[in-house]
Amino acid sequence: MYQEMILDHYRRPRNKGTLENADASAEMRNPLCGDEIDLQVKFTGDSVDDLRFSGRGCSISQASASMMTQIVKGKSTAEVDDIRNRFRELMLGDQTAASDARLGSLRAFSGVSRFPARVKCALLAWNALDTVLVSRRD
């Protein structure tokens, strides 16, 4: 079931494209796998108003980006930090994260933690989001 969810987002990515009037953007590459993610974010106050990504690569990297855009859209940067940290813990094999409802569909990636090389794929979009949030704080 989880594998199907990842394939669904890979085949029909959500929020893919270019964002007009983005406030910040970041590009991330994963040369080990050939994954690319370009992320654009628009903020309203302290919240993620909208975001889009473009890119190419393996199903895990692209599905992770697609699901990420869905879950962080409309959230405050503090909430985004919380989800991002929890997702990292999931990727490190934290079993409590695997049953954390806050992660929603991101729990589909829980099996990826067994494959360290693929963890980099799953975290690529989140690292791009990290860069955007850090640049905004400066």
Residue 59 lies near Zn ion (rule: CB under 5 A): no
User: Distance between CA atoms of 91 and 33, rounded to whole angstroms?
Assistant: 17
Residues 6+ apart with CB under 8 A from 57: 30, 33, 34, 35, 36, 37, 121, 124
Q: Rounded to the nearest whole angstrom, what is the least distance from the CB of residue 66 to Zn ion in the complex?
A: 14
Interacting span for Zn ion (CB under 5 A) from 40-48, 60-68, 69-77, 108-116: 60-68
Q: Minimal distance in Å, beta carbon 45 to Zn ion?
A: 34
Cβ pair 8, 31 in contact under 8 A:
no
* Closest approach of Zn ion to the CB of residue 120, in Å: 7
Q: How far is the C-alpha of 87 from the C-alpha of 90, rounded, in Å?
A: 5
Find the binder of Zn ion among 5, 22, 58, 98 (CB under 5 A): 58
Q: Near Zn ion by CB under 5 A, which window of 31-39, 44-52, 80-88, 109-117?
A: 31-39
Cα(108)–Cα(101) distance, rounded to whole angstroms? 12
> Toward Zn ion, which CB reaches closer, 40 or 61?
61
Of the candidate residues 39, 67, 83, 121, the single one contacting Zn ion (CB under 5 A): 121
- Asked if 18 and 73 touch (Cβ cutoff 8 Å), the reply is no
Question: Which residues of this protein are in contact with Zn ion, per CB under 5 A?
Answer: 33, 35, 58, 61, 121
